[in-house]
Structure 1
Amino acid sequence: METVATTAAAREPDEGCTEPSTGHWGELSWTPVPPRPQDKVKAAEGAPEAPNGGPPGVEDAAVSAMLRAVAASRLPVCSQQQGEPDLTEQEKVAILGQLYHEKPLVFLERFRTSLREEHLACFGHLRGDHRADFYCAEVARQGSARPRTLRTRLRNRRYAALRELIQDSTVDDNPDFDNLDIVARDEEERYFDAEEPEEAPSPELDGD
């Protein structure tokens, strides 16, 4: 009997070390030992938080929406050999989900350009980390700049369509097009985007 009691007492410290510990940059490290009830509580404390402190179902829905948005972007999810078939959306979501839950900071750093402001709530458990705060601020900035970028692209398309109309038109045979080139230059000054200066037609200078 004493031997059995001694063996049980010797196992107590080992079982006390089975709780999950929070790793560096919000990553979780788990020991392969069945958790006890108090371990489940501590594991929940280290898991990603639900947006705005909501229930787990809300967190799952928000994370799923974010993963689908990233999977639909042009960013490569993982490296593939030449000739390999493209990953399906479901495969992309599975790979992204594993990376998000195991290394959320790496996920944020790698795919931040495809994230939107509503996705930042999925990274609330990284708040306070200087790198995570920097990446989240970058996502917020690009979100505020996106409407202006879309307007600029629309204006550039209008300008390109107008230039194409001029090239396809017979100006010499149609007097209605006499001033079309002047109108095009006015549109160019109004709509041409500073993001693409190399495509801007340089104005002709008068000779000396």
Structure 2
Amino acid sequence: MTNPTTPPKRLIIGITGATGVVYAVRILQILRATTQIESHLIISEAGIMSLHQEVGMKKQQLEAMADKVYNVKDIGAAIASGSFLTDGMIIAPCSMKTLASVALGLSENLISRAADVTLKERRRLVMLVRETPLNLAHLRNMTSVTEMGGIIFPPVPSFYQHPASIAEMVDHSVGRVLDLFNIAHQLTPEWPGLKPSDQAQS
């Protein structure tokens, strides 16, 4: 008797209108090169505007990078049900509006509905929230999502790896996000720790 074929990992990628759509583009590029992962893409209307403005891509170009694409208004889509098994969801970037919708369980479109399903099924939800400065509503919504099991992941650039370009900064954040889903990548090296000479200067 042969063993059943192991299904690929399914990962939902939601894109909202906050700045930082380049993070989602890079994530989809990496997932596209990994045959074991099936990407399910949702992009909001505001996200499409950011896509044009920030990276000069057309919606069709982005959608071609995903395995499955859904209309943000399609609340009846497969990923709106907990019976559709996934390994989790990444919202990159995540607007404060979407954050609030998820925090309050509004499920006003397919992105926030899929996020709600991810939380209720105790699957991993990672939200690359983008806003600064933050007001109290933002902070409270982040706390609510964290208490529900979500991971708030502001894509804050790090400098200890001495990035030489914006692309390297993006790759560092994307690599950290992929680490949360145990997805292998070569985007950024592990931190080896300070050298003895560096510690002596501190």
* Larger Rg over CA atoms: 1
TM-score tier by shorter-chain length is: under 0.3
- The normalised TM-score by structure 1 is 0.26
Indicate the structure with greater helix content: 1
Indicate the structure whose relative CO is greater, using CA pairs within 8 Å and at least 6 residues apart: 2
- The normalised TM-score by structure 2 is 0.26
